[in-house]
Amino acid sequence: MPGSIGVSPEGRGLPTQLSLFDEKQVAGHKRLVDAVHSKGSLVAAQLYHAGRQASEAITGLDPLAPSAIPCGILQNHPKEITHEQMDRIKEQFRQAARWSIEAGYDIVEVHFAHGYLLHSFMSTHTNHRTDEYGGSFENRIKYPMDVLKTVIDEVNGEVPVQIRVSVDEYVEDGMKFEEVKKVCHLAKEMGVASISLSAGCYDAVEYAIQPMFIPQGFIIPFAKELKAEIDIPVIVAARLNDAHLIENVVENDEADIVAIGRGLIADPLLIDKIKVHDYDNICYCIACNQGCIDRVLGGMPAHCMVNPVAGEELTCKLKGKSGKKVAIIGADPAGMEAAITAAKRGMKVTVYEKDELGGKFKALSTPPEKDTFMMFDRYLVSQMKKYNIAFTGVFDIENYGDHLFPLIFREKMKKKGIDCELFLFSPIGDVQQGYQQNYEVYPLYKLQELHDRYHFDAVIVGGGGILHYASGKQLLDKNSTEFVDYKVFETAFAFYAT
């Protein structure tokens, strides 16, 4: 499922989002669907209208909602939707369903969740209407169910239709599970083939796109309860970032289908690895939301903090084998990622670290809500072992002084047969003054220029975040300069050497 698809110009919520409100857009969807089908997978169209959670800055149009209640996050100015506008949007849902079939989608999903237009009609949190579409439960669900029936009638059994619904809005006056179950039963009677469960709305967005402090698998009990009452497949999602948790959901009959989003950005081979019980080699989503949803909400493509190739799969390929020797100082995430990437290319790698593998991971993971960071630490350590990467203690930097350490380390490497040139990079070019007593300190944007001038094989890059990203994507190539946009989170050294 490639994310929500806007059925109306004013109903879009994200600048990078797919839309299907114009026949000209069908061809693009068909190319997407054909690409997915060519790899043996099915693909679903998730049709939605963002309602009060649409962005005026993106659409240039007034958001429409059951009532003129601004979204707490967006601080926008929705207008109360008229009956004429409701009829027009219902027709747009119908037409988008027809175009979805023409494009080749295998399933049509109608979005009843996350505080979007249809969900917002059902909830007393967002529906304060006094006409036949407000007030009682029966009135509040009338319009969403009308839209759903219109879609089901249009599809007419050509493909399955399902809904996605929030089990709980997690706002005081929001929709609760007892009402949600009633909606699910009515939808089943209407002809939906399956029900996908999520949670929250933008006013409780932490339950819709769960960060670290939301418990893993918190929707599973809701799925189990609904599954016991209804005889169509129940789909469960939300922080299912553990292989055994995923396996148990199906084995224990708690849900029929598991829906995974961010986990497949972190590791596209997640399911393949689970099938063969290759648990140690799974790179789990850590629910940081920084590389994916934070970027998407800002209008940028999704990337990933634990998978530096995410979003660049077509252009970022591992280079050919190399017999180089590589010395990496610091076994933090940056150092380990650089070591693993080099080892995949056949390089002989030695990692120097005076403490233990993981750097500041343990300190970072100390607060209870941050313990998920250790999942990435365990993955990197397992990859270090998998590729037989040598790990040794490094002499104490304090005995030599910060400004002498890189130069002395270079001499030690030469004695080991590793010949290296040193270039120190920082995001702004003003690392501690002591360094400048012995060599130049360059800002990151100079790396391209220096590489072209000297064609060096050994580089020292300061910064955990940058090096993790740059090494995994192999941005230390003379043809790339993208990494200058990424922040340095700590001082670290790592370099490739001949």
Distance CA 362, CA 355 (A): 12
pLDDT of residue 82: 98
Q: Say if CB 103 and CB 26 are below 8 A apart.
A: yes
For range 251-260, the mean pLDDT: 96
Q: What angle do CA 279, 489, 333 make, to 5 degrees?
A: 25
pLDDT of residue 297: 84
pLDDT of residue 406: 52
Highest mean pLDDT among 286-290, 361-365, 463-467: 286-290
Distance CA 390, CA 467 (A): 19
Question: pTM for this structure?
Answer: 0.80
Asked if the model's pLDDT at residue 474 lies above 70, the reply is: no
pLDDT of residue 410: 58
Helix axes 220-227, 177-190, angle to 10 degrees: 50
Q: Say if CB 43 and CB 3 are below 8 A apart.
A: no
Distance CA 148, CA 192 (A): 9
Distance CA 98, CA 414 (A): 68
Asked if the model's pLDDT at residue 407 lies above 60, the reply is: no
pLDDT of residue 149: 98
Highest mean pLDDT among 99-113, 286-300, 469-483: 99-113
For range 401-427, the mean pLDDT: 52
CA distances from 326 to 127, 285, 336, 345, 416 (A): 62, 29, 12, 11, 11
One-letter amino acid for residue 412 of the chain: K
Catalytic residues, which ones?
116
pLDDT of residue 417: 64
Q: Which residues, including other chains, have CB under 8 Å from residue 374's CB and lie 6 or more apart?
A: 361, 362, 365
What's the pLDDT band for 403 if we cut at 50, 70, 90? very low
Distance CA 80, CA 118 (A): 14
Q: Residue 241: how many CA atoms within 13 Å on its side-chain side?
A: 26
Distance CA 253, CA 15 (A): 38
As a whole number of Å, the end-to-end CA separation of the chain is 45
What's the pLDDT band for 449 if we cut at 50, 70, 90? low
Asked if the model's pLDDT at residue 459 lies above 70, the reply is: no
How high is the mean pLDDT of the chain? Answer: 83
Asked if the model's pLDDT at residue 492 lies above 60, the reply is: no
For range 4-9, the mean pLDDT: 97
Q: Which residues, including other chains, have CB under 8 Å from residue 231's CB and lie 6 or more apart?
A: 188
Q: Which residue has the higher pLDDT, 27 or 349?
A: 27
Q: Say if CB 434 and CB 401 are below 8 A apart.
A: yes
What's the pLDDT band for 452 if we cut at 50, 70, 90? low
Q: What angle do CA 411, 416, 422 make, to 5 degrees?
A: 40
Asked if the model's pLDDT at residue 475 lies above 50, the reply is: no
DSSP structural state of residue 114:
B
Q: Say if CB 179 and CB 144 are below 8 A apart.
A: no
Asked if the model's pLDDT at residue 356 lies above 90, the reply is: no
Q: Residue 149: how many CA atoms within 13 Å on its side-chain side?
A: 10
Strand arrangement, sheet containing 495-496: 390-392, 348-352, 325-329, 495-496
Distance CA 372, CA 375 (A): 6
Instruction: Give the helix/strand (H/E) hosting 248.
Output: helix 243-251
Q: Which residue has the higher pLDDT, 322 or 155?
A: 155
Q: Say if CB 348 and CB 418 are below 8 A apart.
A: no
What's the pLDDT band for 313 if we cut at 50, 70, 90? confident
